[in-house]
Amino acid sequence: MAVSEKRINAVRKFNRFYTKHVGALNEGLLNSRFSLTEMRVLYELYSGDNLTAGDLVKSLSLDPAYLSRILKKFKSEGLLKTAKSARDGRQRVLIFTEEGRRDFTPFIKASQDEVAAILTLLSDAEQIRLIEAMNLISSTLAPAEEITDPVIIRSHRPGDIGWVIHRHGALYAQEYGFDSSFEALVAKVGEDFLTNYDPEFEHCWIAERNDVILGSVSLVKKDLSTAQLRLLYVEPTARGLGVGRKLVDECIRFARRKNYVKVTLWTNSTLYAAIHLYEEAGFKLIDEEPHHSFGQDLVGQTWDLIL
């Protein structure tokens, strides 16, 4: 796909800003004698275990000859040594010497202090927005298997329902062409949940990673024996991570603990990914009916799960 010059220039502009902001162009990173690449190599060795030169080439995408020169320098300075690998006697692993670990350890604290100094200039909301943007860049550009930070599921907190309404409105407009009446419906559902919330029999779950919301779902009491699943959504950057499945499973476990007989939900036939999750969880299609809503001709569906 062709890329416009305007977009190319925007990426280059960001690269120039960020490298200047973090001091990547300075001769010595963190006021050290090490370059950015050298510091990255040292950090990988510091945080890793029994790494080989081949491991570093792969994880850092470095030219083998360039890495070899860096490692030779570190060895000559007494920072590193090699030893036979316990896993494969044919390989040599790289190990910090006592002097090397002693010299490098202060830079870990210096790096943390440098980031803290940047973040303290921002409000809590600005910090979260910054981390969200960083995670978006990482998750968009990096292969999914390289993202190892855990996804956690927590209860909703003040402000979460407003965020859920916002993201529903934005995502469904972008992906399905729904008009503002859909956001109004979601806002009404959110308002009803907050106004009539019964924590004994109802709950809302938020999926997040590194304080960034990835998705949500709620379960409300329809009657004494029936719970209704509502407001399921997963951020595009989190799809494929099992977030939706985890959220649906939380609903079902909660419903069983509260002795509901059935969980029901209403959706539209075009929401294929969500419907696939419901089918996997054991929901059965009970009824469907055409309707015109949110500026679209749709087919509404009712799905039930007998517990």
pLDDT in tens, 214-268: 999 999 999 999 999 999 999 887 887 889 999 999 999 999 999 999 999 999 9
Q: What is the mean pLDDT of residues 60-75?
A: 87
Summary mean pLDDT of the chain: 86
One domain, residues 166 and 298: yes
Q: What is the mean pLDDT of residues 51-79?
A: 86
Of 91, 119, 87, 153, whose CA–CA distance to 21 is shortest?
119
Provide long-range contacts, Cβ within 8 A and 24+ apart, for 120-125.
Answer: none
One domain, residues 99 and 170: no
| 124 or 204, which is more confident | 204
Residue 288: inside a domain: yes
> Taking a C-beta distance cutoff of 8 angstroms, is the pair 205, 253 a contact?
no
One domain, residues 158 and 294: yes
Supply the pLDDT for residue 145: 53
Q: Which domain holds residue 80?
A: 5-121
Supply the pLDDT for residue 36: 75
Enumerate the β-bridge partners of residue 262: 226, 306
Supply the pLDDT for residue 63: 86
pLDDT digits (tens, 9 = 90+) for 275-284: 999 999 999 9
Residue 145: inside a domain: no
One domain, residues 21 and 104: yes
Look-up: residue for tokens 């000559």? 76
pLDDT digits (tens, 9 = 90+) for 2-45: 778 888 888 888 877 777 666 544 544 556 677 778 888 888 88
| 199 or 11, which is more confident | 199
Percent of the chain with pLDDT over 70: 91
Supply the pLDDT for residue 148: 61
Q: Is the pTM of this model over 0.75?
A: no
How far apart CA 186 and CA 293 sit, in angstroms, is 13
**Domains of the chain: total:** 2
One domain, residues 92 and 180: no
Residue 127: inside a domain: no
Of 265, 242, 271, 240, whose CA–CA distance to 252 is shortest?
265
One domain, residues 91 and 164: no
How many CB atoms sit inside 10 A of residue 17's CB? Answer: 10
pLDDT digits (tens, 9 = 90+) for 101-148: 888 888 778 778 878 888 888 888 788 788 878 877 776 776 655 556
